[in-house]
Amino acid sequence: MLIVGGGFSGLLLASMLGDGAVVFEEHERVGRPEHCAGVVSIRTAKLIGIPQSLIEEKFYEMKIFTKGGMLIWRGNPLAVKVDRVGLEDYLYNECLSSGTLVKLKSRVTRVSEDGFILTRDEKVEGEVVVLAEGAKRFFSRKLKMIQFSDDYYGLQARIKADVQVNSIEVYLDRLAEGFFAWLIPLKDRREAIIGLAAKSSAALRLRLLTFKKILEKRGKIRCSDVKYYFGGTVIRGVVGKVASGKVVGIGDCVQMTKPFSGGGLYPSTLAAIIMAEKLKKLINGELDWRSAISQYRTTMSPLIRGLRASYLAFKLVGLRDYLTIKIMAKGARKLGLQDNVLSSIDYDEHFKSMLHSALNPVKVLQYAGTLLMGLI
């Protein structure tokens, strides 16, 4: 089994397949360059099997600030911050322990639908090629597995600071047009991650430093100093085709992300679990490649439909820089419902939980009331 890309999705899948997989990774080390904040739900952390040593912080609430009000999203806990570089190192070692061959500094130059890949040094054929190339999506575009992308540009900084908040804070701010900015406290509030994303990559570092100054002025952080910057593409496009010939896609390369946040670990983890089950049967001779891919596509259908519906919901809610959320936050402040509006929203499955809320008369009244009061 050939896996193109040794990022999170490729390594997680390979660790499940063991010696039946070969991973081709262009960099000399996995997990680099760092690009993700690493905030996931407890459910996702358990699905991945993340050891406690890689959990940097637990968060019991997230505060979403707008100009007119605030919404509070609570959980028990709501999310955890994972050491993302450490996670990929961990998965890499799991791959080696299970017998997976991981070829570092092995850049793939071509992927064909008939199961061949080319590197600078060799041509290799696999029963199935798993495309896990990440956000660059060169091969998935070439194979027409994605037709459209709606990308944002993200920049983050890990800072030393005297942090004055305990929860994750999100700001629907003009500095992050079309997206949002965030503050994630760490290390007993001695460090933090700050970040933002926007449609335009212009002057992102200047925007981020301006955001840091705003946080200092508001008393959220004190005596701050940037340790290092990191970031990359934030994918918010429609999920593409999961297969083309003998090639199957997983993770960012087929835009398998949660549209509201851009996070990809939850859907990618589910996809890896489903794909590993089918590919093990292929390796053991229980299925041929057509049946394995067909079963993967069928089993993935509900997840893909949910992500595509979530994208449409995001486009509606996100119109004019999250105008709907801003109206609701303003109305929630007037009605004293800041703690209630997001209480039924699942951290991993935003759209499904929103649909369930629509069946609850109390939640419908809350949503309608906050929207009405926010418009007044």
Q: Is 124 helix (H, G, I), strand (E, B) or coil?
A: strand
Q: Under a CB-based contact definition with an 8 Å cutoff, are residues 72 and 62 in contact?
A: yes
- Name residues whose C-beta falls within 8 Å of residue 266's C-beta, 6 or more positions apart in sequence: 40, 41, 43, 44, 47, 258, 348
Tens-digit pLDDT profile for residues 343-364: 888 899 887 888 888 788 988 8
Q: What is the third-level CATH fold of 152-234?
A: Alpha-Beta Plaits (3.30.70)
Question: What is the model's pLDDT at position 314?
Answer: 83
* Residue among 46, 71, 41 nearest 59 (CA): 41
- Name residues whose C-beta falls within 8 Å of residue 171's C-beta, 6 or more positions apart in sequence: 64, 65, 180, 181, 182, 183, 211
Per-domain residue ranges for the chain? Answer: 2-48+83-148+240-315, 152-234, 320-375
In angstroms, what CA-CA distances link 368 with 267, 328, 359? 30, 9, 13
Across residues 101-120, what is the average pLDDT?
95
Among the ranges given (109-118, 134-143, 291-300, 349-358), the one the predictor scored with the smallest mean pLDDT: 349-358
In angstroms, what CA-CA distances link 74 with 61, 100, 140, 296, 342? 4, 40, 37, 34, 8
Q: Which class in CATH covers the domain with range 2-48+83-148+240-315? A: alpha beta
pLDDT bucket at 32, cuts 50 / 70 / 90: confident
Average pLDDT over all residues of the chain: 92
Question: Using CB atoms within 10 A of its CB, is residue 103 exposed (0-12), middle (13-18) or buried (19+)?
Answer: middle
- Name residues whose C-beta falls within 8 Å of residue 97's C-beta, 6 or more positions apart in sequence: none
Classify residue 305 by its DSSP letter.
Answer: H
* Residue among 82, 20, 85 nearest 54 (CA): 82
**What share of the chain has pLDDT > 90, as a percent?**
76
* Residue among 81, 95, 75 nearest 45 (CA): 81
